[in-house]
Structure 1
């Protein structure tokens, strides 16, 4: 019986080869940022309000004119097919059926058109801008034509984080496993069989046309050869290519929140890439109040990194966030039971949030602000 995300994580550890589990669960360097994300969420408390009418709890919110069934969604997860082939489509379908948003990664392994077709709910496109901006232009054009509703520019990967577990395993693409990895895979025959049938994952959205090869673009993504000349003024370039909402993901500094407002960004995602980039970065929940003080409700602010419970979402909303996104939790559900595993994880998170709101005396997400425990000065 799996009662929470941690149960799914433990199951994933048993079902996945060690190098795949470490790719999903691991962080950068000493994994201090990874630990801070969860530790700071765990130490945060909320104060319940008594004798409130909670006979009818509503978790739904409206974002950019679309109704979400709950104030959370699925974060972009790159190379998710190493967990289960077709993972992008399976997760997007589960999110859509649950009435929750799905963000597709540039580093996805399914064609963005197929993912959009599978998702009945809000579907956003995450964008990495590599040195050759022609590939970014291509993705923008395709995503717009496919009907993606918002663009999420990720800005915290000017260079790839130093993920020592992946290096020790020798995990990289193109995938050429040595004896150690072959043994690791052989110990998980179900995983190996699925992967053998599907073939090696490819970054298909970095190919000029489906089925064609773009070795240079794929190598750039693998090496995290991003466009380091990208600056705030380039938001205008994105605006010229995209007529929907533009969000910036990876903001941790209050001054960057100011810059986002100055350049007309439609939303922010406070994120440290799940502790996978800069190990000395602060936890996202610790900087959220500073970001909210700058934004002052002018645009929606979302958050990710370290979220494992519905009560974690409640804490972020109490600080003023519009919603939260889950990445690893979704991968763990996918590892356990594909689309149904993701659906179960999303359902558990919704139930946890509903229960937390009821116990806090919050009838809707907006009521959670009253439950924030003031910080001692």
Structure 2
């Protein structure tokens, strides 16, 4: 077996292990996948400044809301992780704890937020999809608070679903619709079929079971998520949640300075610059394209995180140099999870940390907290630098 040396190697291993319907859900984006591709290509448009003889000891640690992270990334919120590996959320949380970084648990996780909190000793944030009526979000926020989650993320860019055409072709919508081609594909991936689909660990949307009851079927839970989309969610709702939640609050899905400023006005402690991994609005810019303008207009106390397209340690350096305080990892650890379970997640995190440390030495910066515009050599037109 070829040695795994980068995130793309883990992606190829995940592709071999997963049926096409599952891999496409992990790997795909909206419509023509222009934004999905741009999230990666935009990093290639940024050049770093090499600096020599600046010392070799590097401090990767950061502080977010009084919590220490060993590296400037955390595993971001993603749903249905049990479809890649049994108890996938627990493996992600465990690998994050081992690496000294945080894990953001999704509303659509397959292990309940309570179980994850009970079995993890690392920093945990809860990500809220503001679905349904006020009672829905209020109940989930109360549960997150009682379980000890230290920060709350409100995802605001998925109030309607993106047109993910790979999923539509498979008939996938939070559940696998069985058809002859999908059954045949499953049989051709026996390792996945046995461990995930034919086991007692078949994934369910556990955070939602409380709303429908333990006897709810997979289809009923999936139908519930679709029926609860709330395109009328507004800044007024953000103010309501701000009053309910006592800890740090972040708004995820920010893509322009105007919305970032409004989030701060409504009481958010930070923003997450995100286009949902290219899975919602196709044609939106890459997150790295807009981070500089957002960082240049927010006050110094606002925390700015970024996700989207991070596959190399150097990508994190570029994001931090342009104004981010940290990054959220989406697909990168999931490729590891889908390939090798917890071991694969640990591999992904180790690869990115090693690349990050090397890049820091190459650019002559001894602390990620000191990265800035001086470490950027050039950017192609369209990539905004810090204001």
TM-score, normalised with respect to structure 1: 0.95
- The residue aligned with 1:323 is 326
Q: Does the Cα contact within 8 Å between 2:77 and 2:330 map onto a contact in 1?
A: yes
- The residue aligned with 2:164 is 163
Secondary structure of 1:260 counterpart: helix
TM-score, normalised with respect to structure 2: 0.93
RMSD after superposition: 1.8
Change (3 A) 1:263 1:213: farther
Map Cα deviations across residues 166-205 of structure 1 (whole Å, 9 max, x no partner).
Answer: 1111223453311010001000001000121135421110
Question: Which residues in structure 2 correspond to 1:167-316 (within 5 Å)?
Answer: 167-195=168-196, 196-208=198-210, 212-213=214-215, 218-221=222-225, 223=226, 225-316=228-319
Question: Which residues in structure 2 correspond to 1:1-377 (within 5 Å)?
Answer: 1-54=3-56, 56-195=57-196, 196-208=198-210, 212-213=214-215, 218-221=222-225, 223=226, 225-369=228-372, 370-373=374-377
Distance 1:185 1:376 in 2: 44
Map Cα deviations across residues 241-296 of structure 1 (whole Å, 9 max, x no partner).
Answer: 21110000000021101101211210110000000000011100001011111114
Change (3 A) 1:348 1:173: closer
Distance 1:254 1:74 in 2: 24
Distance 1:324 1:309 in 2: 12
Change (3 A) 1:174 1:365: closer
Distance 1:257 1:363 in 2: 30
Note the C-alpha offset of 1:117. 2.0
Q: Does the Cα contact within 8 Å between 1:159 and 1:224 map onto a contact in 2?
A: no
Structure 2: state its 5+ residue gaps. Answer: 382-387
Secondary structure of 2:60 counterpart: coil
Distance 1:373 1:116 in 2: 43
Q: Does the Cα contact within 8 Å between 1:126 and 1:153 map onto a contact in 2?
A: yes
Note the C-alpha offset of 1:356. 0.3
**Aligned length, in residue pairs:** 375
Distance 2:227 2:329 in 1: 23
Q: Does the Cα contact within 8 Å between 2:15 and 2:23 map onto a contact in 1?
A: yes
Note the C-alpha offset of 1:224. 6.5
Note the C-alpha offset of 1:374. 5.7
Distance 2:221 2:270 in 1: 28
